[in-house]
RNA sequence: GGCGAGGUAGCUCAGCUGGUUAGAGCGCAGGAUUCAUAAUCCUGAGGUCGAGAGUUCAAGUCUCUCUCUCGCUACCA
């Protein structure tokens, strides 16, 4: 694919500036892009790789509030931290940007306005409440007032929690803003939606056939099955309109009069960050950014994790097409997920290998992690990282196969040729020719696999050359031959040195540090890809010192890393932010009682719902509870539970639920009942 | 519930448009060897390709049913 294009623009998913980087991120969207880009650079191709921090959105404002700081402080911190993490693993972007920059805001706003002018959005204007103190529009549930039906004083703008009536904010008597307590004003507001259903036809053609605007665009067979599958699933399900603005104060302000307190939806804002980043990069370089996004001879590749497929394959292409002039992605080689030691990676449970901690624990050993992650990259299904596997791969493959091979060659050259590369007689045996053929064909095989985004395969090919080198030395036995036929021994070592140099080239995307050390020891600072396949080490070339390439990973190191997984023993948990202060009256308004579950059955057509019949001591009632994934009906019958008894009845999946069973949600994502002590009976009031 | 992707040797995974005795690496067993980081090389054992049915001269590879895992999505007050 890339061979047919003049230049390549590569993007990696913008990491959300809300937490540190772990190996799942690296293996998903950053290492594969880094391998791809290093390969293209080594081939002297015109390639640019951009990325940056995604710094907007509600989660960041929430985190800021929880930590008692500002969103700006949060994103500044992670912007620095994430770059350190990437640098530690030699993830080498051409440019790493951030979406909170003034230039990005300006660009995103301009892009939005241009789409607006072209009629890409549908507008819906309606009256909405506006908080004059906070200067922003209020979502329905940020408004409180008296319920017109039951007189409850703290009814929300969408529903009265007391009588259950569905309300609109206009119905409330004496509405106030829950943010400031001020009396909200009615103002006209406009919401912008992206009507995606308009785009189904051309998207289908683009994704299924690789045809865009009547012309061949890309080879759909080159896309991964799970990527296309997910897209088709969405399109066949019918695309819905999606709001492109949000009621938030942290983000890119909607550049329209009267839209105060609204920002662009992060999924409009973030991918445009790729373009801003490219512009910044071009500015820095003093070149024109436009060809990278607009010239049909450029190929655009988005590296992402599988959770981002729909945005990159459907929503962003729609935006780009509606704007016009921009390229659409030629491939989106999304990876699946990386699991860790038998469980999903989880930030909140500290079940992760953090890039930053890895580098602190294994300084200077980024190549080892890169190698292991490339070996087990989740290219077409979820993969599994274990520390024992890490140890095995580093020790058996990097240290024993690669490190030892290189060491053999250097030691032999030192002993028999005074540390200078021997020349060749040119009288090749059949075995030599077979090895020369492999040397010649390996760069192509590795490159081909990389261009097809088959990085594990590419690495196998590259290591195959090293394995062949070991076999060659063992079978040709230059240390014996040298006693009877020194010229033949020189030929053998000459060839082994060529294998070493070629291996350095084909491994360079995966092991940049090691490749660099090898190149230096072989007397060059650069080993360009297109030089591979031939003799690279000239006769008489003195070899430099080359200490051990890879130290072995010890059992103690493995145990230490395994022990670090999981929640800190003494540390505080990373839980959701505490809610705003409430009043005793509000608490008193809740009628909590002990109840006993008499019967339970699954609600048909719903995975998570159980329909419970509970005895309160003064009545029997039906409660629908979203616990079916954690408990079977048999598990719950006979249990005493805590019931919120006076909760407004609500219809869920056709069943009227009269109350709510209280549950604790545990750190591992599970649920547990709040079970009363022995001696407590159904109907007992909790206060 | 709807949809998508997976379920292949003890482990981690390949197997691209259906075609001879199903592959790699690691691990295991046996052997060779010593230039080398107890490294390397060779040989071997080990798989009813999740289960069942179908299409075909021929299926891990296509179709259907079932089952398990992961993801998206709806219902989780």
Measure A40 CA to B35 C1' (Å).
37
Residue nearest to nucleotide B72 (CA to C1'): A230
Measure A366 CA to B46 C1' (Å).
36
What does each C-alpha distance from A120 to A32, A110, A161, A323, A459 come to in angstroms? 34, 14, 38, 8, 44
Measure A228 CA to B59 C1' (Å).
24
Cβ-proximal residues to A112 (8 Å cutoff; 6+ apart), any chain:
A244, A252, A254, A255, A264, A268
Cβ-proximal residues to A429 (8 Å cutoff; 6+ apart), any chain:
none
Q: CA A141, CA A551: separation in Å to the nearest integer?
A: 59
CB atoms within 10 A of CB A281: 20
Q: CA A461, CA A402: separation in Å to the nearest integer?
A: 13
Which of the nucleotides lies closest to A649 (Cα–C1')?
B77
Q: CA A10, CA A47: separation in Å to the nearest integer?
A: 7
Pick from A70, A76, A175: nearest CA to A129: A175
DSSP-based three-state secondary structure for A462 = helix
Measure A505 CA to B35 C1' (Å).
24
Per the document, the length of chain A is: 687
State the pLDDT at residue A2: 43
Where on strand B do bases come within 7 A of a protein Cβ? Answer: 1-7, 11-16, 24-27, 32-37, 39-42, 70-72, 74-77
Beta carbons of A493 and A413 less than 8 angstroms apart:
yes
Q: Provide the b/e sequence for A195-208 (b: ≥16 CB within 10 Å).
A: ebeebeebbebbbe
ipTM over 0.85: yes
Measure A392 CA to B46 C1' (Å).
21
Residue nearest to nucleotide B13 (CA to C1'): A376
Cβ-proximal residues to A399 (8 Å cutoff; 6+ apart), any chain:
A549, A550, A551, A552
Averages of pLDDT over each 10 residues, chain A, 687 residues: 77 89 92 95 95 86 78 93 95 96 95 93 74 63 63 57 52 68 72 87 88 88 85 82 80 86 84 95 97 95 88 92 93 89 82 92 94 90 89 93 95 94 93 92 91 90 93 95 94 95 95 94 87 88 91 91 75 54 79 90 79 89 85 84 85 81 73 83 86
Residue nearest to nucleotide B27 (CA to C1'): A392
Q: CA A301, CA A40: separation in Å to the nearest integer?
A: 13
Measure A494 CA to B66 C1' (Å).
61
Q: CA A29, CA A91: separation in Å to the nearest integer?
A: 11
Q: In A334-454, which residue ranges form alpha helices assigned H by DSSP?
A: 355-361, 366-375, 387-392, 404-417, 430-451
Q: CA A145, CA A132: separation in Å to the nearest integer?
A: 17
Which of the nucleotides lies closest to A550 (Cα–C1')?
B37
Beta carbons of A157 and A192 less than 8 angstroms apart:
no
Which of the nucleotides lies closest to A405 (Cα–C1')?
B36
For A484-523, the DSSP string reads H-HHHHHHHHHHHHHHHHHHHHHHTTT-HHHHHHHHHHTT
Radius of gyration of chain A (CA): 31
Residue nearest to nucleotide B17 (CA to C1'): A221
Residue nearest to nucleotide B69 (CA to C1'): A382
State the pLDDT at residue A163: 44
Residue A333: phi and psi, rounded to 5, are -80, 70
Measure A407 CA to B29 C1' (Å).
29
Which of the nucleotides lies closest to A623 (Cα–C1')?
B77
Q: CA A92, CA A595: separation in Å to the nearest integer?
A: 60
State the pLDDT at residue A57: 78
Q: CA A671, CA A627: separation in Å to the nearest integer?
A: 7
CB atoms within 10 A of CB A626: 17
Residue A30 Ramachandran class (φ > 0 left, ψ -120 to 50 alpha, else beta):
alpha
Beta carbons of A643 and A595 less than 8 angstroms apart:
yes
Instruction: Report chain A's terminal Cα–Cα distance, integer Å.
Output: 68
Measure A29 CA to B41 C1' (Å).
38
Q: Rounding to the nearest 10 degrees, give the CA dihedral for residues A475, A476, A481, A485.
A: 150
Which of the nucleotides lies closest to A381 (Cα–C1')?
B6
Measure A653 CA to B75 C1' (Å).
6
Residue A591: phi and psi, rounded to 5, are -105, 100
Which of the nucleotides lies closest to A469 (Cα–C1')?
B40
A131, two tokens: 């908080």
State the pLDDT at residue A1: 42
Q: CA A595, CA A593: separation in Å to the nearest integer?
A: 6
Beta carbons of A304 and A334 less than 8 angstroms apart:
yes
Whole-model pTM: value is 0.83
Q: CA A259, CA A455: separation in Å to the nearest integer?
A: 47
Measure A346 CA to B54 C1' (Å).
44
Which of the nucleotides lies closest to A625 (Cα–C1')?
B76
Which of the nucleotides lies closest to A652 (Cα–C1')?
B75
Measure A233 CA to B3 C1' (Å).
6
Strands A262-264 and A136-137: unpaired
State the pLDDT at residue A240: 79
Which of the nucleotides lies closest to A383 (Cα–C1')?
B12
Which of the nucleotides lies closest to A648 (Cα–C1')?
B77
Measure A216 CA to B59 C1' (Å).
33
Residue nearest to nucleotide B1 (CA to C1'): A605
Measure A471 CA to B43 C1' (Å).
15
State the pLDDT at residue A299: 94
State the pLDDT at residue A316: 92
Which of the nucleotides lies closest to A663 (Cα–C1')?
B76
Order the strands of the A155-156 sheet from edge to edge: A155-156, A143-146, A173-177
Measure A232 CA to B48 C1' (Å).
35
């Amino acid at each position: 694919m890339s061979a047919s294009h003049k230049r390549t623009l590569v993007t990696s998913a913008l990491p959300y500036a809300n937490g540190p980087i772990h190996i799942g991120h690296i293996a998903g969207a950053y290492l594969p892009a880094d391998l791809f880009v290093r390969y293209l650079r080594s081939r002297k191709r015109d390639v640019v790789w951009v990325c940056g921090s995604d710094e907007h959105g509600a989660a960041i404002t929430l985190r800021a509030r929880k930590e008692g700081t500002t969103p700006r402080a949060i994103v500044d911190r992670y912007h620095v931290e994430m770059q350190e993490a990437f640098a530690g693993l030699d993830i080498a972007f051409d440019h790493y940007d951030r979406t909170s920059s003034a230039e990005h805001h300006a660009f995103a706003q301009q892009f939005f306005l241009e789409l607006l002018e072209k009629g890409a959005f549908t507008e819906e204007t309606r009256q909405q409440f506006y908080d004059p103190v906070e200067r922003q529009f209020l979502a329905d549930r940020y408004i409180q007032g008296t319920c017109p039906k039951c007189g409850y004083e703290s009814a929300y703008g969408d529903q009265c929690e007391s009588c259950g009536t569905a309300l609109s904010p206009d119905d409330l008597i004496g509405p106030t803003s829950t943010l400031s307590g001020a009396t909200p004003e009615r103002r006209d507001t406009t919401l912008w939606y992206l009507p995606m259903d308009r785009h189904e036809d051309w998207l289908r053609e683009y994704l299924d056939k690789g045809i865009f605007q009547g012309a061949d665009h890309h080879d759909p067979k080159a896309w991964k099955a799970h990527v296309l599958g997910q897209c088709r699933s969405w399109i066949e399900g019918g695309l819905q309109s999606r709001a492109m603005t949000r009621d938030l104060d942290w983000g890119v302000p909607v550049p329209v009069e009267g839209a105060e307190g609204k920002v662009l939806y992060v999924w409009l804002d973030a991918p445009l960050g790729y373009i801003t980043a490219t512009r910044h990069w071009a500015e820095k370089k003093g070149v024109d950014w436009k060809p990278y996004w607009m010239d049909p001879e450029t190929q655009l590749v988005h590296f992402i994790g599988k959770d981002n497929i729909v945005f990159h394959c459907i929503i962003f292409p729609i935006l780009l097409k509606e704007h016009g002039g921009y390229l659409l992605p030629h491939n989106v080689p999304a990876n699946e997920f990386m699991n860790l030691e038998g469980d999903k990676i989880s930030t909140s449970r500290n079940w992760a290998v953090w890039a930053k901690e890895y580098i602190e624990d294994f300084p200077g050993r980024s190549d080892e992690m890169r190698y292991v992650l490339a070996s087990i990259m989740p290219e077409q299904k979820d993969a599994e990282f274990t520390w024992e596997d890490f140890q095995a791969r580093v020790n058996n493959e990097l240290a024993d196969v690669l490190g030892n091979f290189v060491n053999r060659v250097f030691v032999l050259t030192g002993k028999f040729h005074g540390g200078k590369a021997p020349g060749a007689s040119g009288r090749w045996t059949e075995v030599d020719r077979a090895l020369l053929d492999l040397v010649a064909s390996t760069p192509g095989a590795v490159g081909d696999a990389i261009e097809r985004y088959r990085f594990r395969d590419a690495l196998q090919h590259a290591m195959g050359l090293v394995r062949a080198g070991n076999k060659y030395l063992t079978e040709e036995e230059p240390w014996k031959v040298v006693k009877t036929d020194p010229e033949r021994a020189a030929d053998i070592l000459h060839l082994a040195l060529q294998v070493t140099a070629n291996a350095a080239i084909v491994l360079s995307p995966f092991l940049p540090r090691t490749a660099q050390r090898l190149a230096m020891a072989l007397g060059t600072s650069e080993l360009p890809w297109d030089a591979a396949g031939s003799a690279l080490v000239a006769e008489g070339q003195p070899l430099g010192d080359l200490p051990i390439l890879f130290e072995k990973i010890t059992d103690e190191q493995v145990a230490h890393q395994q022990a670090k997984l999981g929640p800190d023993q003494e540390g505080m948990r990373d839980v959701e932010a505490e809610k705003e202060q409430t009043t005793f009256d509000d608490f008193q308004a809740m009628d909590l009682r002990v109840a006993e579950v008499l019967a339970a059955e699954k609600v048909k057509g719903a995975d998570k719902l159980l329909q419970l019949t509970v005895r309160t001591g003064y009545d029997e009632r039906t409660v629908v509870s979203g616990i079916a994934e954690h408990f079977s009906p048999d598990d719950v019958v006979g249990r005493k539970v805590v019931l919120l008894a006076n909760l407004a009845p609500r219809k869920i999946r056709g069943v009227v639920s009269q109350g709510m069973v209280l549950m604790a949600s545990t750190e591992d994502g599970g649920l547990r009942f709040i079970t009363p002590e022995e001696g407590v009976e159904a109907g007992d009031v909790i206060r």
